[in-house]
C-alpha cells in the first residue's frame, strides 16, 4: 500500500469517529477525545510532511476531507437559512470536527460569555487545522 493510501485511511478516522459517536451516542469525555485526536492529528501532520513531492499538495491532500467538511458546514450553517438547509449534509458536515469540540468550546468562551454552536464549530475546525499545521511544520523541520 502506498504512503498516500495509508495517510488517506488515517485522515478518515475523525469522520468515522464523528459518525460512530453521533449515530450510537457513544459518550467519550470531550477532554479525553480532544487529547487523543489532537495527538493523532499532530502525528498525521508529521506524516503529511514526509510524503514526497510538493509540500503544498501534500498538506492539501491530508486536509482534503477537513476542507470539504468545513466548506459544507459553512454552506449549510452560515450561507443558508434554516428552511434551506439540507439536514443530511448539515449533519455529516459536523462529524469531522466532533473530536475537537472541547477546544472549540473553551476557545469560544475566551471571546464571549454566550455559547454559540456555529462559533464553537468553526473554532473547532480551525483548532483542528492548527494542530495539523503544527505537526506538518514539525515534520518538515525534522526532515531537514
Write the DSSP string, 28-70.
--HHHHHHHHHHHHHHHHHHHHHSSS-HHHHHHHHTHHHHHHH
Per-residue pLDDT reduced to its tens digit, 51-98: 877 888 889 988 999 999 999 999 999 999 989 999 999 999 999 999
> What is the C-alpha separation between 80 and 66, in angstroms, rounded?
20
Per-residue pLDDT reduced to its tens digit, 2-50: 777 888 899 999 999 999 998 888 778 889 999 999 999 999 999 999 8
Can you give the pTM of this predicted structure? 0.91
Return all residues near 59 (Cβ < 8 A) that are at least 6 apart: 48, 133, 136
Per-residue pLDDT reduced to its tens digit, 121-144: 999 999 999 999 999 999 999 987
Domain ranges in the chain are 3-143
Numbers of helices and strands, H then E, in the chain = 8, 0
**Residue % of the chain over a pLDDT of 70:** 99
Amino acid at each position: 500500500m502506498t504512503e498516500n493510501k495509508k495517510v488517506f485511511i488515517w485522515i478518515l478516522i475523525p469522520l468515522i469517529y464523528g459518525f460512530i459517536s453521533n449515530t450510537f451516542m457513544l459518550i467519550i469525555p470531550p477532554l479525553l477525545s480532544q487529547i487523543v485526536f489532537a495527538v493523532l492529528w499532530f502525528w498525521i501532520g508529521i506524516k503529511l510532511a514526509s510524503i514526497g513531492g510538493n509540500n503544498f499538495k501534500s498538506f492539501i491532500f491530508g486536509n482534503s476531507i477537513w476542507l470539504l467538511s468545513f466548506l459544507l458546514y459553512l454552506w449549510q450553517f452560515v450561507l443558508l437559512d434554516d428552511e434551506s438547509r439540507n439536514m443530511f449534509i448539515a449533519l455529516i458536515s459536523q462529524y469531522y470536527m466532533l473530536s475537537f469540540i472541547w477546544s472549540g468550546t473553551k476557545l469560544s468562551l475566551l471571546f464571549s460569555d454566550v455559547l454559540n454552536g456555529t462559533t464553537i464549530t468553526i473554532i473547532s475546525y480551525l483548532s483542528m487545522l492548527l494542530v495539523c499545521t503544527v505537526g506538518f511544520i514539525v515534520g518538515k523541520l525534522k526532515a531537514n
